[in-house]
Each structure stands twice: as structure tokens, then as C-alpha cells.
């Protein structure tokens, strides 16, 4: 019973964190991808 409760709490907190962070993480990943592309264009290594 304790394990099930812990699992539910962990799952709900994870889903809350996911909904909060998904936009931020997506923006960061998109910005990182763009910076990588511009770096390739500016400084071809």
C-alpha cells in the first residue's frame, strides 16, 4: 500500500514537472539546435 502511494505521488509530480518543463525544455533544445547550426555556418570545423 505504501509503495503504491509513493508510486502515485512520484507519477503525479513527474507529470506536473513534465507539463511545466516541456515548454522550457523544448525552447532550450530548439535554441541549442539553432546555435549549433549557426556555429557550423560561422565557424566550420
The reported pLDDT for the residue numbered 20 is 66
Per-residue pLDDT reduced to its tens digit, 1-43: 778 888 888 888 887 777 666 677 777 777 777 777 776 666 5
Distance CA 10, CA 16 (A): 10
Instruction: Write out the three cell numbers for 25.
Output: 525544455
Q: How far is CA 15 from CA 28, 33, 35, 44, in A?
A: 19, 25, 29, 40
The reported pLDDT for the residue numbered 45 is 46
The string of DSSP codes covering 19-37 is: HHHHHHHHHHHHHHHHHHH
Amino acid at each position: 500500500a505504501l509503495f503504491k502511494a509513493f508510486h502515485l505521488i512520484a507519477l503525479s509530480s513527474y507529470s506536473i514537472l513534465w507539463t511545466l518543463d516541456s515548454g522550457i525544455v523544448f525552447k532550450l533544445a530548439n535554441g541549442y539546435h539553432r546555435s549549433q547550426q549557426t556555429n557550423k555556418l560561422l565557424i566550420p570545423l
